[in-house]
Chains A and B, each alone.
Chain A
Amino acid sequence: MKKLLAIMFTVLIAIASIAGITVTCNDSTFVFDRGDFPSLRVVTRFEGPQPSSDRNGSDYIEYEAIPLISVLEYVGGMREGDLLKIEADDGYSKLFPFGAIYGRTALGNPYIGYREEKPYFIFVPDDGEVSNEDMLASLGEEYSHFYDGLPSSKGLMVKSVSTIRIETSRTVSPLIMETAAFPGPSPDWTVEIKGSGKKEISSIDFEADEADGGHYVEISLERKGETNTYRAIPLWLVVAAAREDEQKRFSQYRELWEGGFDITLTSVDGYSVTFNTLDVPIEAIFIADEENGEKIAPAIVGEISGKLWVKGLASIELDTERYSYEDPRLSVSLVLKAGGLEREFTIADLEAKSYYVENYGQYITSSGGKHGGLYGGVELVKLVGELVELKPTSTIRTVASDGYETTYSAGEIESADGIWIVAFKLDGDYLPEDPGYFRTIKVGPNMPAIESRRSAKMVEIIEVIDLE
């Protein structure tokens, strides 16, 4: 028994590290993996309990790093007073105050850096070294790390991160990348974005992004034998911000980008160049407003061909024809109503849930035809459990998009030979629009069968009714 558990535990850990890092804040959880975000190369080093000359600190190590703050935004970000807990899969954890993560302390910016496929939590300060002094100055005694009584900034680095948790006392409603309007000072410059409607990005937006510490990064580029540093925002982000509809995750933008569409960049002096996104990697192209510490008119920079280095950018035009292709499934959502509360979940939300399962199920039609396979979805009870606890007298009612209703008693749902789920995947593929993105079905290793009329399709709303 113990052996089995140990094996399972190891397997779980393995799965956890492959499956990605869980980021949570109260009820908001999502699992992210490396491909979801753009990364940059960073180098950093941590001092050990002895001064660095003793070389028991870490060496300078290079990572492919993702800014942590971008990740945190997906669960609502941190506010003053919150704490951030970084957990490793071996149980090691560190706690950090809000100020250390957002405050641009001597520790620099926090990142999830990948090295040899493993995620590390690191800081990257401006001088490239996290010294003990930096640590003490930024975290104080309470949160600094000590080894044998001596301050050791090496302990701030967390290896093999498994969970990132924001500990907060407030209720959080997940916000994803607010693009708020900024009234107030007039911008130094604006760039028009044409394509899906017309929008503008201005120096104020850049300043705001800098304050959020989001994607406004510093990059070094070599050109014509000279190395210059720029502060810039990736072009894809600017392009994404111009879209009117719901925000997507980076992996989805990457898909669009790699689908290939045209972007035309025009300068104030009229110079205009068009390129196809297939020819330029998404992480390679930026809009910079600062060069070597000095503010400049917005310019396109990056590891790109010289013809694309447009100075004094005036407008960006997207070839909307292809860019506005929308996978309708991405905007579809399931509504859960229970206990007077209402919640909406997108397929992406649900797939990120910890109670997302995949198992076998089938339904049998009146003529005897069997339909089934490996379904993927969220456990119905646990889904409902996000709002209320299911009582023995409760009834669950599903409403389909054509109005058809199916009711389940609590007893039926909590049956023994399988788990009822709201499925949105079958055999690895998402359920198609016809017959419907969501279906209720019972799944289990023995492929339990239900009558086809008990499997509700085209589900849009799930209601919990308590008859009092």
Chain B
Amino acid sequence: MKLRELTVLLWLLLNLPCLSFEVLLNDESIRSWDGSLLQYCYDLPQGKAIPLLEILPPVVERDGCFLETERGRLSDVPMDSLLVWEEGDWFLHLEGEGVKILSVAVYGEPIDNDYLQVWLDWEGITALKESIQRFSSINGLRIETREVPKASSKLVSVVRARGEVPDVIMVQSSDISRLVYEEAIQSLDYIPVQGLSGLSSFNYEGRSWAIPFYFDCQLVFYNRGLVGEIDPGWTLEDLENLSKDPGSGGAGWNIYSAYWFIPFQLGFGKRDLIEDGRVTVLDGPTQEALGYLVERVDDGTFRALERDPMVTLFASGKVGIILSGSYMIEQFERIGMDFGLAPYPEPLRPVLDYKGLAITRKTRNPILARRLIEFLTSKYVQASFCKASYKIPSRREALDGMELNFAISSSLERGYPLPADPLYELYKDTMWKLIRLAISDRLGVREVLEKGQKIIDENSGGVQ
């Protein structure tokens, strides 16, 4: 007898605090949240919390959203207001005060299809799958995520073969022109993008084709033991001096690569890689930049190292300063290295490599796809995803909550997002060969750039 009573009591005790709040859609209760919402919460300074936006059911168009609280009905509550779990209940934090929530009512046409298919590529896929799973679980949706290598290439093949396309696909700027040409994705001008950086990376022919999601940026990594601390406001000359210092281990990176050459071009005065629909390599800044690097390699100031030797030598303390991407932070942390991060020295501008989310043209569920993207680019989701995957969020607000290294945040400001123009690929493929020939002293700087310009011009005609 006693045991049974105890069990009932226990059950009551457990459930009592779970007097939850209800979520209503068009006056119909669709969900009630109690402690079960905790599993989706973020650990924030206020405690276990979740922004209001994330628990609202996705609708075609939100006609109204009202919160019934202890203090009465609230409307026009900011979407990123937090619901905080306090003493077994949910409190809405508004203007520093917490008020207990009784229900959340949303009005709008429900989305009639709860299925989405998402294709993911590159890194951070596990963390991304988790974020998407959150959205799916909270709203009772069926979202299928697939890791698809060469996703944009596969999408083109599927579109051509009239197959079933996914609804959302992860893309990088170099994919855009091809996907647009094949009519595989739809333009997203209708999705508001305030607060996101990197929009230019997905702009093509005057329209926006993907929403920037995260980016990697180029940074300077240095061995604290060899180099000491670097002043974030340093210049190119400082880099030279540091590198010449025998105790520092010197500076080396993949000087041959066009990707690592761009910051120098921009630093020496070039405004944009592609100007007036044309790629110019015969201009002053490019010649100066190339000449500068050739000299520095010749006199031994900088070492031209391919990626793998660069990483190995840096990790083994034989090279003190390298130029690499933010994606390497995880690697070096994993092996327990004592390294520091510095932004690119003035006047160099680091390249920002964005990945974005695009919606296919033949999707059957564009509105839910858009809701998913809005979810993924919201402040807290961005912060949590990027923290887990060592990526940098495109939502500027999310940076605040991340305690990002100053090197990264200043890189964001001076950084150069890669353009979506197909000419960029042409430039990259040609440039590395030119740099190599110049640095190996087989040809002079001017000569090599002249020949390169001819090839670029010749091939530009075919680029659409």
Contact residues of A with B, CB < 8 Å?
Answer: 224, 262, 264, 266-267, 269-276, 305-307, 319, 321
**Quick one: which of A264, A269, A305 contacts B361, CB cutoff 8 A?**
A264
Contact with A along B344-388 (1 / 0, CB 8 A): 000000000000000101111111000000000000000000000
> What CA separation (Å) do A224 and B110 show in the bound complex?
11
Check A305/B112 contact, CB under 8 A, given A272-B361, A272-B366, A273-B364. Answer: yes
B190, CB-defined interface residue at 8 Å: yes
**Quick one: which of B109, B162, B186 contacts A321, CB cutoff 8 A?**
B162
Q: Are A224 and B109 in touch, CB under 8 angstroms? A: yes
Q: Are A271 and B190 in touch, CB under 8 angstroms? A: yes
| Chain A residues closer than 8 Å to B188, beta-carbon distance | 270
A226 vs chain B, min Cβ distance (A): 11
Q: Are B366 and A271 in touch, CB under 8 angstroms? A: yes
Check A306/B186 contact, CB under 8 A, given A264-B362, A319-B162. Answer: no
| Chain B residues closer than 8 Å to A274, beta-carbon distance | 361-364
Instruction: Tally inter-chain residue pairs, CB-CB below 8 A.
Output: 52
B61, CB-defined interface residue at 8 Å: yes
From A223, which residue of chain B is reached at the shortest CB distance?
Answer: B109
A273 vs chain B, min Cβ distance (A): 5
Check A270/B187 contact, CB under 8 A, given A224-B63, A321-B162. Answer: yes
**Quick one: which of B63, B189, B363, B365 contacts A270, CB cutoff 8 A?**
B189
Q: Are B187 and A269 in touch, CB under 8 angstroms? A: yes
Q: Are B187 and A307 in touch, CB under 8 angstroms? A: no
A443 vs chain B, min Cβ distance (A): 47
From B364, which residue of chain A is reached at the shortest CB distance?
Answer: A274
> What CA separation (Å) do A319 and B159 show in the bound complex?
12
From A275, which residue of chain B is reached at the shortest CB distance?
Answer: B364
Known: A224-B63, A306-B367, A319-B162. 7 other contacts (CB 8 A): A264-B362, A270-B186, A270-B207, A272-B186, A273-B364, A307-B60, A307-B365
> What CA separation (Å) do A276 and B164 show in the bound complex?
13
B176 vs chain A, min Cβ distance (A): 13
**Quick one: which of A270, A271, A306, A321 contacts B61, CB cutoff 8 A?**
A306
| Chain A residues closer than 8 Å to B189, beta-carbon distance | 269-270
**Quick one: which of B109, B361, B364, B367 contacts A266, CB cutoff 8 A?**
B361
B16, CB-defined interface residue at 8 Å: no
B455, CB-defined interface residue at 8 Å: no
Contact with A along B98-134 (1 / 0, CB 8 A): 0000000000010110000000000000000000000
Check A273/B366 contact, CB under 8 A, given A224-B63, A306-B60, A321-B162. Answer: yes
| Chain A residues closer than 8 Å to B60, beta-carbon distance | 305-307
> What CA separation (Å) do A269 and B363 show in the bound complex?
16
> What CA separation (Å) do A264 and B63 show in the bound complex?
26
| Chain A residues closer than 8 Å to B61, beta-carbon distance | 224, 306
B181 vs chain A, min Cβ distance (A): 15
Q: Are A270 and B367 in touch, CB under 8 angstroms? A: no
Check A273/B363 contact, CB under 8 A, given A224-B109, A319-B162. Answer: yes
| Chain B residues closer than 8 Å to A269, beta-carbon distance | 187, 189-190
> What CA separation (Å) do A358 and B112 show in the bound complex?
49
Check A270/B190 contact, CB under 8 A, given A224-B63, A307-B60, A307-B367. Answer: yes
List 6 A–B pairs whose Cβ atoms lie within 8 Å, in order of A's numbering.
A224-B63, A269-B187, A271-B190, A272-B359, A307-B60, A307-B366
A199 vs chain B, min Cβ distance (A): 18
| Chain B residues closer than 8 Å to A319, beta-carbon distance | 162
From B207, which residue of chain A is reached at the shortest CB distance?
Answer: A270
A421 vs chain B, min Cβ distance (A): 45
| Chain B residues closer than 8 Å to A276, beta-carbon distance | 364
> What CA separation (Å) do A274 and B166 show in the bound complex?
12
A281 vs chain B, min Cβ distance (A): 14
B419 vs chain A, min Cβ distance (A): 19
A212 vs chain B, min Cβ distance (A): 34
From B112, which residue of chain A is reached at the shortest CB distance?
Answer: A305
A269 vs chain B, min Cβ distance (A): 4
In order of increasing CB-CB distance, the 3 nearest A-B pairs are: A270-B187, A306-B60, A272-B186
**Quick one: which of A266, A307, A321 contacts B111, CB cutoff 8 A?**
A307
> What CA separation (Å) do A224 and B108 show in the bound complex?
7
**Quick one: which of B112, B162, B363 contacts A272, CB cutoff 8 A?**
B363
| Chain B residues closer than 8 Å to A321, beta-carbon distance | 162
> What CA separation (Å) do A267 and B190 show in the bound complex?
10
| Chain A residues closer than 8 Å to B364, beta-carbon distance | 273-276
B288 vs chain A, min Cβ distance (A): 41
Contact with A along B204-236 (1 / 0, CB 8 A): 000100000000000000000000000000000
> What CA separation (Å) do A431 and B26 show in the bound complex?
55
| Chain A residues closer than 8 Å to B363, beta-carbon distance | 272-274
> What CA separation (Å) do A275 and B362 show in the bound complex?
9
| Chain B residues closer than 8 Å to A306, beta-carbon distance | 60-61, 109, 111, 367
> What CA separation (Å) do A270 and B189 show in the bound complex?
7
> What CA separation (Å) do A276 and B61 show in the bound complex?
22
> What CA separation (Å) do A305 and B366 show in the bound complex?
12
> What CA separation (Å) do A264 and B361 show in the bound complex?
8
B409 vs chain A, min Cβ distance (A): 32
Contact with A along B54-65 (1 / 0, CB 8 A): 000000110100
> What CA separation (Å) do A329 and B190 show in the bound complex?
46
B residues 37-65 touching A (CB-CB < 8 Å): 60-61, 63
From A319, which residue of chain B is reached at the shortest CB distance?
Answer: B162
> What CA separation (Å) do A306 and B364 show in the bound complex?
12
From A312, which residue of chain B is reached at the shortest CB distance?
Answer: B190
A100 vs chain B, min Cβ distance (A): 42
B289 vs chain A, min Cβ distance (A): 38
A267 vs chain B, min Cβ distance (A): 8
> What CA separation (Å) do A417 and B199 show in the bound complex?
85
| Chain B residues closer than 8 Å to A266, beta-carbon distance | 186, 361
| Chain A residues closer than 8 Å to B361, beta-carbon distance | 264, 266, 272, 274
> What CA separation (Å) do A430 and B162 show in the bound complex?
33
| Chain B residues closer than 8 Å to A262, beta-carbon distance | 362
A300 vs chain B, min Cβ distance (A): 13
| Chain B residues closer than 8 Å to A305, beta-carbon distance | 60, 109, 112
A50 vs chain B, min Cβ distance (A): 48
> What CA separation (Å) do A306 and B58 show in the bound complex?
13
B274 vs chain A, min Cβ distance (A): 23
A326 vs chain B, min Cβ distance (A): 19
From A225, which residue of chain B is reached at the shortest CB distance?
Answer: B63
